[in-house]
Amino acid sequence: MIFLLMLFVFVLAIFAGNELISKVPPTLHTPLMSGANAISGITIVGALMCAQFGAEGSAAKILGICAIAFATINVIGGFLVTDRMLAMFQSKKKKK
């Protein structure tokens, strides 16, 4: 039962991600994707579920923990890239 729920969430995330990315015009793709990496927060929630329901030492628990780590890195990286891109558009006076 839980496997079917997690599979449903995974498939739904694939379709939602595909719709989000395909609707972005190519000229806006790079700036918006740095902020869209925050969508990995959804991945963190799924990975937390996987890590919680996996038996101790099972592949599900180990993969869930790895997914939590990688999604967290992706979220932080996305915010760092967005901050860096916004800093490029600030005036020279505000930087100092």
> Is residue 90 predicted with pLDDT exceeding 60?
yes
For the segment 49-87, what is each residue's pLDDT rounded down to a tens digit? 888 887 787 888 888 889 889 888 888 887 787 777 777
* Number of domain units in the chain: 1
Q: How far apart are CA 94 and CA 96, in angstroms?
A: 6
The confidence score (pLDDT) of residue 11 equals 93
**This prediction's pTM:** 0.56
Tokens coding 81:
């890239």
Structural domain for 20, as ranges = 2-95
Task: Please give the share of the chain, as a percent, with pLDDT higher than 70.
Answer: 80
Can you state the angle between helices 59-88 and 29-36, rounded to 10 degrees? 130
73, 49, 72: which is closest to 61 by C-alpha? 49
